[in-house]
Structure 1
């Protein structure tokens, strides 16, 4: 039953990712893809919150799996970030590629830390 819930949550996470990316793209004025940055940073803060919450409440492993592995696994998008970085490099935009990848890394780690801190 948990596997089914994780799969359904993953599908919902993917739909949420599509909707957020579409909304951000509609309002993005940058020359770099901002949707993936927003999605990955928000997924990191949310996963940090789930991790911090579950750490303080033993026995919630199934909920952690549904929210963390399922929903947030479907919502976050490392593969898209990698493709966007590669596209920026292929277009000769080395500085933008480094800024995109490095900025996402730093922001995502900080967001995960914030998420854990919020629930601790």
Structure 2
């Protein structure tokens, strides 16, 4: 199959991404449903999902690129792009920051924007470091 006249695309890869994305999005929906954020309040569910998802992305990337020499071909598209791509939600992060600003909660919006960014980068780094340390054992 060709998309937009580019190189052929493996339909199995697209199916893996779609299935993983559906699973990740459903997991995120469950988290958001369990911990909804009232108007003007810090959106803890989205924050937690994004930080945890970034930690898992760090773990996964080390596993599929450094540890597992023969990782299944569809592991990265299914888990990385699909599950974790559907689970993490930086588009919702941006919308929620805007909503906090329009609700008059500029301080909360700033804390959410900066805190999510810093925590997500730190979580990715920690996931990678911990996975590498454990893999060396």
> Counterpart in 1 of 2:83?
71
> Which of 36, 43, 59 pairs up with 1:25?
36
Task: Provide the C-alpha distance between the structure 2 equivalents of 1:49 and 1:10, rounded to a whole number of angstroms.
Answer: 18
User: Is the radius of gyration larger for structure 1 or structure 2?
Assistant: 2
Which structure has the higher relative contact order (CA within 8 Å, separation 6+)? Answer: 1
Which of 119, 128, 133 is residue 107 of structure 1 equivalent to?
A: 119
Unaligned runs of 5+ in 2: 1-11, 133-137
- Name the structure with the higher helix share: 1
Match status 1:15 vs 2:47: no
Q: Runs in 1 of length 4+ with deviation above 2 angstroms?
A: 57-62
CA RMSD of aligned residues (A): 1.8
Structure 1 residues 31-110: aligned runs within 5 Å: 31-56=41-66, 57-60=68-71, 61-110=73-122
What TM-score do you get using the length of structure 1 for normalisation?
0.90
How many residue pairs end up in the alignment? 118
Structure 2 distance, partners of 1:58, 1:100, is: 38
Structure 1: give runs of 5+ residues left out of the alignment: none
- 2:93, 2:47 → 1: CA distance? 8
TM-score with structure 2 setting the length: 0.79
In the other structure, the counterpart of 1:3 is 14
CA distance in 2, matches of 1:114, 1:21: 24
> What are the superposed Cα offsets for residues 66-118 of structure 1, whole Å, 9 maximum, x if unpaired?
10000011111011110110011112221111001100001101100111112
